[in-house]
Structure 1
Amino acid sequence: MPFTYQRTVRFQDTDAAGVAYFANILSMCHEAYEASLGAAGINLNQFFCYPRIAIPITHSTIDFMRPLFCGDDIKIYTTPKQIKDGEFEVAYEIYVIEVVDRGVKEVQESCAARAFTKHVCIDSAARVRTFIPDEVMKWLVKWGDANQIAAMETDLLL
């Protein structure tokens, strides 16, 4: 089940054309990532400021389906997935929330963008790859893809 993060596109997120600047969309995705870590019980200060294991982003990509404007209310659905022992990716789906009045008010969501970030775990002191920390594994289980989680649990039982 993905983590859901809500926010409003702010003026500071937009460019001279009045649409959200592409790099700011990735920043919004990172906000959602941070919120999902916190919601899983991870201490963000220790995670980002004093880590034994650092988890840098090694790749990111974003595809846009429609522009985002100042004042748009959005939801970012965040779904992490383990790739290897020391790597995971996070998929983000950014939806605009609109209230449509056709005699009856309805809330509609339309996909504005999809993004991915790939993360690698490294030992902070030795600067070499290492395994995903236990607290991050718990986060993967909490917010990850249910099919992948079932496979991970089966592997643990074997």
Structure 2
Amino acid sequence: MYTREWTIRFGDVDMFQIGFYPRLMSEVRRTTERFMESLGYPFRELIDEQKLGLPIIEAGIEFENPVVAGDTLTLTVTPTVGETSLRFEIEARHADGTTAFTAFEQRVCLPVGGDETVPLPEDVRRVLGGSRNESTDGNER
């Protein structure tokens, strides 16, 4: 699990002064990138050094409470490791503990230049807490 704070700025909201969906999803992606960096496996290095990518094949967000400029959210990432896939669940909470939104990214492991999934490297699986017997929620590809 990984946690970070994000303060919503004026540019993160829409004309109605509530969180702008594309900015929220961009911050979700940034959070999963920082999570992987914190583990010592930045996405760019996986591509450069292991010749593997983890592209997003599905993503979504579900809003529970409004997000406005000035709010500070705590984003928590929880990974689920599959054989050839990785799912990140992200929960964003307001300072009072209420959930602002939940989001997810479903990623698959692909070799650079390839179009068939391959198993996640054992070292990546290990730092994410997965074993070869775990699987995702049916989104394995």
TM tier, smaller = 0.7 to 0.9
Q: Is the 8 A contact 1:37 1:139 kept in 2?
A: no
Matching of residues 1-158 of structure 1 within 5 Å: 2-47=1-46, 52-83=51-82, 85-97=83-95, 108-141=96-129, 152=131
Residues 21-68 of structure 1 show CA distances to partners (whole Å, capped at 9, x for unaligned) of 112111111121011111111245423667611111001121100111
Q: 1:31 to 1:71 in 2, by over 3 A?
A: same
Percent identity, aligned pairs only, is 20
Structure possessing the higher radius of gyration over alpha carbons:
1
Q: Is the 8 A contact 1:82 1:140 kept in 2?
A: yes
| Whole-angstrom distance in 2 between the partners of 1:12 and 1:139 | 35
* TM-score w.r.t. length of structure 1: 0.75
Gaps of 5+ in 2: 134-141
Instruction: Say how many residue pairs are matched.
Output: 134
Residues 91-117 of structure 1 show CA distances to partners (whole Å, capped at 9, x for unaligned) of 0000011xxxxxxxxxx2110101111
RMSD: 2.2
Task: Give 2:116's aligned amino acid.
Answer: V
